[in-house]
């Protein structure tokens, strides 16, 4: 179930849907995008901590595969909406396994202090309650511990706890048909050693889940699919060399076009489009937005570039266009 939030372009979704992927969605709008791309409802997962009554009703009427429930109040709302429609809502409980992971604090989602999911103890209680509710159909459990994770150890710790929960629920006589393991596998952003491969990830899951029968696994990759499939092309406005020796390479791209560096210090390799033998010099690469935060990087070694030159920000296919805005009334790319 491809994580639509990484890049919701309908042509991207159709490409992945044609290959057999479903969609992990976090809003009615994302569900509508997946449907527009031809992804059938029974391959759509609806996640997110703040689903509205209207969104839940839309998801149930659409017939999505599952609603990933993240809290007891949300469970009550899902049951209420399903009752008003005369349906049994297919629910999966998102568990917060209290595992630290993620490339930055702002993209870590699996610790107890994060807003996502319910505790293991809560999950067991809510699952049992849902199994006895006329308008709820509990199908399984889920987790998602963060993004840009480059070490398999946090995944293994979280998945081991989920495996224990599944075994415990089944021991209580409850039916558990699904196990949603989320996404978060890291992408090689050019400034780091290669992260584990999807094959390494799958082998680890195989070890943790060995012997587990009659269960359907779901996965929610996004960034690892889309990031290195896109670049942001930017033009040089000028190189500003101050008398104190600092160089500012001013581009026509800005934080509204690629907000990741400003939001969580993300690294993007920056490559001149035309090859050059010029000696690289340290530059601060900035955009024209009226914020000091509109800085892509500091002291990056780049060859001297003249006005009109072009550079490519690599690995911009995920959370690039998807998070872009028209701040400063700048048109979208």
Active site residues: 290
The SS3 call for residue 19 is: coil
- Let me know if 193 is exposed, middle or buried by CB neighbors in 10 A (0-12, 13-18, 19+): exposed
- Distance (Å, whole) CA 97 – CA 30: 26
DSSP string, 188-248: --SSSPPPPPHHHHHHHHHHHTTT--S-EEE----HHHHGGG--EEEEEEEEEE-TTS-EE
Q: Report phi then psi at 110, rounded to 5.
A: -110, 5
The backbone region for 329, taken as left when phi is positive above 0, alpha when psi lies in -120 to 50, beta otherwise, is left
End-to-end CA distance of the chain: 27
Distances (CA, A) of 301 to 144, 248, 265, 306: 36, 12, 17, 15
Cα gap 162→145, rounded to integer Å: 12
Extract the tokens encoding 105: 């604090």
Element (H, E) at 74: helix 72-85
Any alpha helices (H) in 246-293, and if so which ranges?
260-264
Is 261:295 a contact under the CB 8 Å cutoff? yes
Q: How many CB atoms lie within 10 A of CB 204?
A: 16
Residue 282's SS3 state is strand
Q: Are 183 and 24 in contact (CB under 8 A)?
A: yes
Under 8 Å between Cβ of 46 and 4: no
């Amino acid at each position: 179930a491809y994580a639509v939030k990484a890049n919701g372009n309908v042509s991207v979704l159709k490409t992945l849907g044609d290959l057999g992927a479903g969609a992990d969605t976090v809003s009615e709008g994302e569900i509508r995008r997946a449907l527009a791309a031809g992804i059938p409802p029974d391959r759509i997962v609806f996640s997110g901590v703040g689903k509205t009554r209207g969104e839940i009703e839309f998801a149930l009427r659409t017939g999505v595969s599952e609603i990933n429930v993240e809290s007891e109040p949300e469970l009550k709302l899902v049951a209420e909406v399903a009752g008003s429609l005369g349906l049994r809502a297919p629910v999966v409980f998102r568990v917060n396994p209290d595992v630290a992971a993620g490339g930055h604090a702002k993209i870590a989602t699996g610790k107890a202090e994060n807003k996502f999911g319910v505790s293991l103890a809560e999950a067991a209680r809510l699952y049992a309650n849902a199994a006895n509710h006329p308008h709820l159909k509990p199908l399984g459990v889920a987790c998602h511990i963060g993004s840009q994770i480059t070490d398999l150890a946090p995944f293994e710790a979280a998945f081991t706890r989920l495996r224990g929960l599944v075994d415990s629920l089944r021991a209580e006589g409850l039916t558990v048909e699904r196990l949603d393991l989320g996404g978060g596998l890291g992408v090689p952003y050019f400034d780091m050693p290669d992260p584990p491969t999807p094959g390494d990830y799958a082998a680890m899951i195989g070890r943790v889940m060995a012997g587990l029968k009659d269960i359907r696994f779901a996965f929610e990759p996004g960034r690892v699919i889309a990031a290195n499939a896109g670049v942001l092309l930017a033009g040089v406005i000028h190189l500003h060399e101050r008398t104190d020796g600092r160089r500012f390479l001013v581009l026509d791209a800005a934080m509204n076009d690629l907000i990741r560096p400003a939001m969580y210090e993300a690294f993007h390799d920056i490559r001149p489009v035309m090859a050059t033998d010029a000696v690289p010099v340290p530059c601060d690469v900035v955009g024209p937005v009226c914020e000091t935060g509109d800085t892509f990087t500091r002291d990056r070694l780049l060859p001297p570039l003249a006005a009109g030159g072009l550079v490519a920000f690599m690995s911009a296919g995920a959370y690039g266009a998807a998070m872009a805005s028209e701040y400063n009334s700048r048109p979208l790319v």
